[in-house]
Amino acid sequence: MADKNSRISVKRKEKKVESKTNDEAEKGKEKMVKKPDKNVKKPEKTPEQPEKDEEKKNEESEGDENGEFQPIELPPFEIITGEQMTPFYFKFQFRNVEYSSGRNKTLLCFRVDTAGGSTEPLTGYIEDEHATAHAEEAFFQKILPNYSQDCDVTWYVSSSPCASCAAKLTNILHERKKLSLCIFCSRLLEWEEPEIAEGLRTLASAGCKLRMMKPSDFVHVWETYVEKEDQSFTPWEDCQENYDYYVEKLADILK
Catalytic pick among 73, 129, 136, 223:
136
CA-based angle 209:212:215, to the nearest 5?
Answer: 135
Which of these, 118, 108, 187, 86, lies nearest to 154 by C-alpha position? 108
Backbone angles phi, psi at 212, to 5 degrees: -95, 150
Residues 92 and 133 sit within 8 Å (Cβ to Cβ): no
Residues 236 and 94 sit within 8 Å (Cβ to Cβ): no
Backbone angles phi, psi at 235, to 5 degrees: -50, 150
| Terminal-residue alpha carbon distance, the chain | 74
Which helix or strand (DSSP H or E) is residue 14 part of?
helix 2-27
175 included as an active-site residue: no
Residues 127 and 75 sit within 8 Å (Cβ to Cβ): no
Catalytic positions, written as ranges: 136
